[in-house]
Amino acid sequence: MTSPHAHAGPHAHRATSGPSGVTRRRVLYGTAAAGAATVLPAAAHAATGRGRRTVAVLGGGMAGLAAAHELVERGFAVTVFERRALGGKARSIPVEGTGSGGRRDLPGEHGFRFFPGFYRHVPDTMRRIPFPGNSAGVHDNLIALSSTRISRNAGRSDIIVPQLPASGGGLDLDVLKETLTGLVQQAAAIPASELALFVDRYLVYLTSSAERRLGEWEHVPWWKFVRAEGRSGDYRAIVARFLTRGLVAVKEEVASTRTVGAMGEAFLLAGLGLGADGGLARMLDAPTNEAWIDPWVRHLRDRGVRFEVGQAVEALETGGGRVRSVRVVDAAGRRRSAAADWFVCAVPVDRAWTLLSPDVLALDPGLATMRNLRTEWVNGLQFFLRRSPRGLDQEVNFMDSPWQITAVLQSRLWDRDFSRDYGDGQVADCLSLDVSDWDTPGILYGKPAKKCTRAQIAKECWAQMKDHLEDTGRSVLPDDLVHSWFLDPAITWRPSDGSNANDEPLMVNTVGSWANRPGARTRIPNLFMAGDYVRTNVDLATMEGANESGRAAVNALLDAAGSPAERVPVWKLYQPPELDGLKRLDAQRYRSGLPNLFETVPG
């Protein structure tokens, strides 16, 4: 099925929440700026900032880089302050000292990069980042995810989404057999009455108005919405647990139905080709830094962005009802103040909390609600393999794993020869994991990941994958396959209390969290917020949400500055017009205190 808007251009379904009209003044300004950049590109790129309004972007992750990109394109002098490494949670992390013989260090990651088809902001930015040989910049480094396995344990058949050959040659019959068997098993495992219940609940969400989604479903946990209490184990595992911990990394008892439902809807529509930039999902064809982050930083430097890496933002210094400067500190403890006209706070939420001093809150008391936001852990682990395992697909979801593990086999995605390009020549592949549940006891040590040493985490993850892939007696992951492993260095073991700390947690969408999240514009006239915790249309702590928030911060800054520059495009999640009538009816029913028309199961 093809949406009538699927080819409507990059700005289709743009949000109307901010200024999006094109005035004559903006057209003239943009034309003049484009002409000047064409005639005098060297002068434009060599500007030192004298006479230009300055912006300090605090944080060099997804939100900060997106904001810097849009600001420098609109003529601002931009400096980005980053405490650790550019790219934030999306960066690659080289495993130091592992490269030899002219090879690069093995490529570790905070977690593998996954780009759902409904992402619009990140792909738009990627198209504007030059990459040698690519007509659409780094966007051309995205490849369609064509093979996914939903793996079950205890001898149950896996569900496989097989690769469809472009030549139309046909399917692998063994794969097709296992897929059909798995689908039948899943359907049979859940009683018919519970399948009907889930269909009913899904229809309720799909036909709910925006008013009901924000006013009611924002405050209802997904567990309660799908009526999981007292249902079968498979219903709870698939409908309640997997769709929350496995897909949006938040526990089903506290996950906002508004967020989980919106993500399920977005995936469904993208699979149907509606409101999607590409297919159902895509991934990069190389380590993130090589395919995306490094070219992005080079491009921004070429445009004039200054990067101050190793400078942690310690405080916002106020005066005269505004932010005067920021105090930054380096690894040696040296402190200094940096002034600017405008400030975009794009540090993660756990870092932003530390900036909410009494002076800052006196200027905008509403920012205090950010302290009510909740974080969880989603971190990566890579197994570097001596040879590529047989029978593994591009991406595997280990549905019944206590730690809600998902993994990708990089040889199926990356255009790289591992033994030639990385490490000591003995590594042929990489199995890259995301671990989404750090609080549930594992199967080897009976402890949650937060209570396991780094070595125990690696052994536990390996065992949980084998529990799924080798439950029918076949050998998929023999132990001698492992050359080495690498756990995200944000995870650090504390022997004093026998637990881990996490330097880079993730904000999660719990019930009622929307009210506690800041908007892009604050009551402080020259301070703007960006980050995956800021209110966005995508409403999920993701790369997409971070990018959208950076754009929203820039639009708010442009408004405050009275800039004639063209506003940054912002998209809403696609909503099928075929459901508009039912949603209008639901809005009336909601205002009248009545349930959704499809609500057949009492709460």
Give me the half-sphere count of Cα atoms (radius 13 Å) on the Cβ side of residue 236: 9
Residue 169's pLDDT is what? 38
Give 3-state DSSP helix, strand, coil % of the chain, rounded to 5. 35, 20, 45
> Residues 226, 194: contact at Cβ < 8 Å?
no
Residue 274's pLDDT is what? 84
pLDDT digits (tens, 9 = 90+) for 167-201: 333 445 455 455 455 555 565 677 888 888 888 99
Residue 294's pLDDT is what? 98
Tokens of 306: 């200054």
Q: What are phi and psi of 239, to 5 degrees?
A: -80, -40
pLDDT digits (tens, 9 = 90+) for 71-127: 999 999 999 999 999 999 999 999 999 999 999 999 999 989 889 999 999 999 999
Residue 20 pLDDT greater than 80, yes or no: no
Residue 3 pLDDT greater than 80, yes or no: no
Of 282, 346, 271, the closest CA to residue 122 belongs to 282
Q: Is the dihedral of CA 86, 90, 95, 99 positive or negative?
A: negative
d(CA 160, CA 179): 5
Residue 205's pLDDT is what? 95
User: What angle do helix axes 543-561 and 62-73 make, rounded to 10 degrees?
Assistant: 40
Tokens of 531: 């980050």
Residue 545's pLDDT is what? 97
d(CA 54, CA 75): 10
Residue 137's pLDDT is what? 98
Given the structure tokens 């962005």, which residue do they identify?
305
Percent of the chain with pLDDT over 70: 86
Question: What is the pTM assigned to this prediction?
Answer: 0.88
Residue 601 pLDDT greater than 80, yes or no: no
Residue 178's pLDDT is what? 54
The average pLDDT across 216-242 equals 91
> Residues 542, 66: contact at Cβ < 8 Å?
no
Residue 35 pLDDT greater than 90, yes or no: no
Average pLDDT over the chain, rounded to whole? 87
The band of 414, judged by pLDDT with boundaries at 50, 70 and 90, is: very high
> Residues 532, 507: contact at Cβ < 8 Å?
yes
More confident residue, 34 or 288: 288
Residue 511's pLDDT is what? 96
d(CA 62, CA 428): 30
Give me the half-sphere count of Cα atoms (radius 13 Å) on the Cβ side of residue 18: 25
The band of 273, judged by pLDDT with boundaries at 50, 70 and 90, is: confident
The average pLDDT across 449-475 equals 96
Tokens of 476: 């998929």
d(CA 394, CA 391): 10
The band of 310, judged by pLDDT with boundaries at 50, 70 and 90, is: very high
- Residue 379, beta-bridge partner list: 435
The band of 275, judged by pLDDT with boundaries at 50, 70 and 90, is: confident
Of 217, 195, 199, 211, the closest CA to residue 603 belongs to 217
Give the domains, in start order, of the chain with CATH numbers: 24-88+288-371+513-561 (3.50.50.60), 90-121+131-148+281-286+376-502 (3.30.9), 190-275+576-591 (no CATH)
d(CA 82, CA 300): 15
pLDDT digits (tens, 9 = 90+) for 352-363: 999 999 999 999
More confident residue, 59 or 281: 59
Sheet with strand 322-329: strands edge to edge: 312-319, 322-329, 335-339
Alpha-helix residue ranges (DSSP H) falling in 401-497 = 418-421, 454-469
Residue 48's pLDDT is what? 36
Of 77, 65, 126, 125, the closest CA to residue 550 belongs to 65
The band of 163, judged by pLDDT with boundaries at 50, 70 and 90, is: very low
